Amino acid sequence: MSRDTVILIHGLWMTGSEMSLLRRRMRERDYNVHQFRYRMVTRSLDHNRERLKDFIGRHAGSAPVHLIGHSLGGVLALQTLQAYPELPVESVICLGSPLVDSTAGRRFSGSGLGRAFLGKTLPEAIFHAPLSDWTGAQKVGVIAGNRGFGIGDLTGTLPKPNDGVVTLAETCLPGIDDHLEVSIGHTGLILSAAVAEQCDWFIRNGCFRR
């Protein structure tokens, strides 16, 4: 029997190397794991959606495909499936993803330097053409942290609860299948063994373990 495929998608200002622990843990659970890398500052949402679509197509086979996106990576995953609903993806797990808004991002965008740092993909995916709800065929689960300390604090105090970058409310997209709150910070979501276990449980069961 072919092993399920997991595609990991990193977040803003990251390269994918930060997800090495999660890659290893998912491989230990007998998945074929691939890392999607993209340029979110200089490239547009449309460009990155098309690249992710092609990446999924190259790695899809007879076994189910699952996407795990951290932060902006989760937004990109759902934006891509919304644009290309025919893609052979069975489930998506978003880790600390600002699916409905980004308070920290809006504060960054208030200055020219901040807008330059944010780049193109995040504003287009979250501010200009945001997701309103999820109606796709794929099961979607969200894991959100509530241990607030991170770069979001540099722009002012974030509404609580938050993971230091993304508020809990910003992860609550209508129509998703399950939502789990954990006492972990934003970057900690991709380092946590417990989160990796929950990703595996969601893939196998369509819900998180409680």
For 183-203, the pLDDT digits (tens) are: 999 999 999 999 999 999 999
How many other CB atoms are found less than 10 A from the CB of residue 68?
Answer: 30
pLDDT category of residue 91 using cuts at 50, 70 and 90: very high
pLDDT above 70: residue 166: yes
For 130-140, the pLDDT digits (tens) are: 999 999 999 99
pLDDT category of residue 151 using cuts at 50, 70 and 90: low
How many other CB atoms are found less than 10 A from the CB of residue 179?
Answer: 16
**Distance between CA atoms of 187 and 174, rounded to whole angstroms?**
24
pLDDT category of residue 152 using cuts at 50, 70 and 90: very low
How far CA 99 is from CA of 28, 31, 44, 52, 57, in Å, comes to 29, 26, 17, 18, 24
> pLDDT at position 149, please?
65
pLDDT above 60: residue 154: no
- Is the peptide bond preceding residue 161 cis, with omega within 30 degrees of 0? yes
For 21-34, the pLDDT digits (tens) are: 999 999 999 999 99
> pLDDT at position 108, please?
87
Q: Cα–Cα–Cα angle for 159, 161, 167, nearest 5°? A: 65
